[in-house]
Structure 1
Amino acid sequence: MQGGKKAGESVKETASNMGASAKAGMEKTKATVQEKAERLTARDPLEKEMASQKKEARVNQAELDKQAEHGQNAAAKEAATYSPTGEHGHHTGVH
């Protein structure tokens, strides 16, 4: 029974991680497109550089958010598969 529960939690974690990765990819793409638009309309080299820096900040934030969500998914999986019994099915509490 426990093996099935662990497998189910692994599937949930994988699906959540895929969603987080897809979301991060979309955020990175939006940041790149916005940077290109800003660089096209900017006349001043400083404005172009600011657009690039803004894009880098958004890309970095998307990656940090993705990694944080992966960590949360792993923690949720561990919490869901935690067993209150010790080795060989013996209860870990006071007898």
Structure 2
Amino acid sequence: MQSAKETASNVAASAKAGMDKTKATVQEKVEKMTTHNPVEKDMATHRKQEKIDQAELNKQAAQQHNEAARQQTTTTTGHTTTTGGLNPASAMHGHSTTGHTIGSHPTGMTTTSTTTNPAAADPRLGTRHTTGTGTGTGTGTY
């Protein structure tokens, strides 16, 4: 999802740069048509080129910012970090930790379950959590 946000931001930066470049070109043409002095026409061309260069620099800066934000988000929320302490969240099923024991499972052990129905995994839950179709009114019983 972050990659899509980065791509969208980059597309927006490119679109803004394109609009700025077009605006600079149009302004140059207007200045050249309203001016009869060759020096002022040359100055209009230089101003246009400066605006085009600035638009390109702004686009590149925005893209670099988007990439840095994506890398920072990946680093802070990525699945490559592990904790070595007694963090209860680290001992959840499917998570790996480093050598401590919490409850009855060593935290370095990875456990998985392929069952999505909690009642099937634990008979003490009874039949309350059965799957099926309902009327959608919220008045049914379990």
1:20-70, Cα deviation, whole Å (9 max, x unpaired) = 000000000000000000000111000000000000000000000000000
Identity of aligned residues (%): 50
The corresponding residue for 1:91 is 83
State the TM-score, normalizing by the size of structure 2: 0.55
The corresponding residue for 1:75 is 68
Number of residue equivalences? 86
Q: 1:34 aligns with which of 18, 27, 35?
A: 27
Structure 2 portions without partners, runs of 5+: 86-97, 99-142
The corresponding residue for 2:95 is none
Q: 1:65 aligns with which of 36, 46, 58?
A: 58
Structure 1 portions without partners, runs of 5+: 1-7
1-structure distance, mates of 2:83, 2:31: 62
State the TM-score, normalizing by the size of structure 1: 0.81
2-structure distance, mates of 1:19, 1:67: 12
Greater helix share, structure number: 1
Give the 3-state SS of the residue equivalent to 2:14 in structure 1. helix
Looking at both structures, which has the greater relative contact order when contacts are Cα pairs under 8 Å and sequence separation is at least 6?
1
1:62 is aligned with what amino acid?
A
Higher alpha-carbon Rg: 2
Q: CA deviation at 1:90?
A: 3.5
Q: CA deviation at 1:86?
A: 8.1
2-structure distance, mates of 1:15, 1:51: 33
The corresponding residue for 2:8 is 15
1:12 is aligned with what amino acid?
K
Q: CA deviation at 1:91?
A: 3.1
Q: CA deviation at 1:83?
A: 4.2
Give the conservation status (yes or no) of the 8 Å contact 1:85–1:91: no
Give the conservation status (yes or no) of the 8 Å contact 1:13–1:73: yes
1:26 is aligned with what amino acid?
M
